[in-house]
Amino acid sequence: MSLKFEIFSKHKKSRTGLLRTAHGNIQTPAFMPVGTRGTVKGILPEIVEQTGAEILLGNTYHLMLKPGAERVAHLGGLHKMMNWNKPILTDSGGFQVMSLSSLRKITEDGVLFNSHIDGSKHMLSPETSTNIQYLLDSNITMAFDECSQYPISHEDAEISMELTNRWADRSRIAFVKRYGYGQFGIIQGSVYPDLRKKSADYITKIGFDGFAIGGLAVGEGQEVMFNVLDYLPDFMPENKPRYLMGVGKPSDIIGAVKRGVDMFDCVIPTRSGRNGQAFTKNGTINIRNSKYINVQNPIEHDCECIACTNYSMAYIHYLVKVGEMLGAILMTIHNLTYYQNLMKRIRNYIDEGRDFDFQT
């Protein structure tokens, strides 16, 4: 057995479930904090676990450059190296090659690119990406894809999608099947329904353990993204998890769950926390605002995170304003807790057969 996915309850297109891996179970819908370089920035793994997170995302591109996949393997794999014994999903590196590399050359073999760190040349192919993720010991390996930018013409989107489909075949062949580990295929096709259908038909026949929606959250806006999600999950198997890559605003998540998506990742809660923005059920707040200078209340009254149970908004405002790292840490802890509480609230609504009556 690789991964096992069970659906527990449904409400319209939304569903709750459980994804079983060798390093533990993941309740879905699920949000994955991003641990780009083997760490969620500024937060101990033990604290990340306390926020309710059941799975983290690691970054193939960054980890292959430093410290290197072979070194991670030598240190016992990503779980042991970073002291996180729960599930890990790693991306394939395709998006980062597109967004970070100043020079890249795409061929049928793969992508030749220059490191954004030192300019050194590297090659990522379906085989090398899959092997790197094997060395990292990630529970969920992503197939290597060509992530198209937005906007893109239908012709160029089709060329990119067909390349992703061919790379998906090679990724699957390169994947080492073992108990509690699996591989997700990625459906591309930009905003074109015919291309999305063609990609979904091809990718789902390969036999992946789950399926991801790529090529969204690349500048198209929420309305366009929801237009794609109105039909795309219907092209995907009912009995496999569906992962919307790189999407993480609360309203995006709620809207995507309504349309049948199960898994999410995004840097928004951690990056926003470092920049002084906190998420609450009443919307976002900017802790830098002078109106919080003397506020003795927590960021959110019913939040049980370390930040809200121990520190006032006035103190966190002060820390952030003077640039103390503790301010960013506390804000990040709160945001990660908010996101996990949001997912729990979403799951409860689905289990109870209720329409979502909240946007944040």
91 counts as catalytic: yes
| Tens digits of residue pLDDT in 162-200 | 999 999 999 999 999 999 999 999 999 999 999 999 999
Residue 94 binned pLDDT confidence (cut-offs 50, 70, 90):
confident
Residue 92 binned pLDDT confidence (cut-offs 50, 70, 90):
very high
Residue 31 binned pLDDT confidence (cut-offs 50, 70, 90):
very high
The yes-or-no verdict on residue 102 having pLDDT over 80 is: no
> How far is the C-alpha of 262 from the C-alpha of 90, rounded, in Å?
17
- Residues facing 283 on adjacent strands: 280
Q: What is the pLDDT of residue 320?
A: 98
**Region 246-272: what's the mean pLDDT?**
97
> How far is the C-alpha of 153 from the C-alpha of 187, rounded, in Å?
17
CATH level 3 topology of 4-265: TIM Barrel (3.20.20)
The yes-or-no verdict on residue 116 having pLDDT over 90 is: no
Phi first, then psi: give them for residue 55, nearest 5 degrees: -155, 145
Distance of CA 244 to the CA centre of its chain: 7
Q: Is 157 helix (H, G, I), strand (E, B) or coil?
A: helix
Q: What is the pLDDT of residue 49?
A: 98
Residue 100 binned pLDDT confidence (cut-offs 50, 70, 90):
low
Residue pair 257/10 in contact (Cβ under 8 Å)? The answer is no
Token look-up 């259908």 returns 197
Q: What is the pLDDT of residue 101?
A: 60
The yes-or-no verdict on residue 160 having pLDDT over 90 is: yes
Which one is catalytic: 91, 145, 252, 262?
A: 91
265 counts as catalytic: yes
- Where do the structural domains in the chain lie, given as residue ranges? 4-265, 267-360
Residue pair 359/346 in contact (Cβ under 8 Å)? The answer is no
Residue 96 binned pLDDT confidence (cut-offs 50, 70, 90):
confident
By C-alpha distance, which of 241, 298, 288 is closest to 265?
241
Residue pair 66/300 in contact (Cβ under 8 Å)? The answer is no
Q: What is the pLDDT of residue 300?
A: 98
Which DSSP category does 144 fall into?
P
Q: What's the full length of the chain, in residues? A: 360
Q: What is the pTM of this model?
A: 0.97
DSSP-assigned letters across all residues of 279-316: EETTEEEETTSGGGTT--S-SSTT--SHHHHH--HHHH
The yes-or-no verdict on residue 103 having pLDDT over 80 is: no
Which one is catalytic: 109, 209, 265, 355?
A: 265
